[in-house]
Structures are given as structure tokens and as C-alpha cells.
């Protein structure tokens, strides 16, 4: 994690769901819930690794 000047493993999760109702605001500052089609989400992901795995998921199951 070069932004912290340390080596660390960063684990991210991407949830695919059909939301039905907002239950509340995100619990962490500067976080937001974004509801959009999965195909549109790929280009909005922050890093190449997340984009790669999301695109691979779409290729296999989309």
C-alpha cells in the first residue's frame, strides 16, 4: 500500500444485489452507496485490479 508507505494486503468486496429500500446512510465518513447497473460500475472502480475482477465476473456470469 504505497499510499501508507507500508506493505499490506488490501481486501475489497463488491456486492451485487437488487436493492429494495435504503436502510440508512453509510456508517463511515466519505463513503457512499452507489446503486447502478453492474456494467456501468466497472469503469467507476478506483483501481485496475478491482476493474479486472469485475470485468471478469461480467464476462463469466453477465
Q: Is residue 52 part of a domain?
A: yes
Q: Is residue 43 part of a domain?
A: yes
Q: Is residue 20 part of a domain?
A: no
What CA–CA distance (Å, rounded) separates 45 from 22?
A: 22
The mean pLDDT of the chain is: 81
Global pTM value: 0.52
Q: What are phi and psi of 51, to 5 degrees?
A: -60, -45
Q: Is residue 1 part of a domain?
A: no
Q: Is residue 2 part of a domain?
A: no
Based on the structure, what is the number of domains in the chain?
1
What CA–CA distance (Å, rounded) separates 24 from 33?
A: 10
Mean pLDDT of 17-39: 82
Chain segment 36-49, per-residue pLDDT in tens: 887 788 888 888 88
2 or 32: which carries more pLDDT confidence?
A: 32
Q: Is residue 30 part of a domain?
A: no
Q: Is residue 60 part of a domain?
A: yes
Domain enclosing residue 61, as ranges: 35-62
What CA–CA distance (Å, rounded) separates 62 from 56?
A: 9
Amino acid at each position: 500500500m504505497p499510499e501508507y508507505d507500508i506493505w499490506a494486503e488490501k481486501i475489497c468486496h463488491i456486492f451485487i444485489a437488487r436493492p429494495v429500500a435504503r436502510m440508512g446512510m453509510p456508517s463511515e465518513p466519505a463513503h457512499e452507496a452507489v446503486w447502478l447497473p453492474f456494467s456501468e460500475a466497472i469503469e467507476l472502480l478506483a483501481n485496475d485490479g478491482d476493474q479486472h475482477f469485475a470485468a471478469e465476473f461480467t464476462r463469466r456470469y453477465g
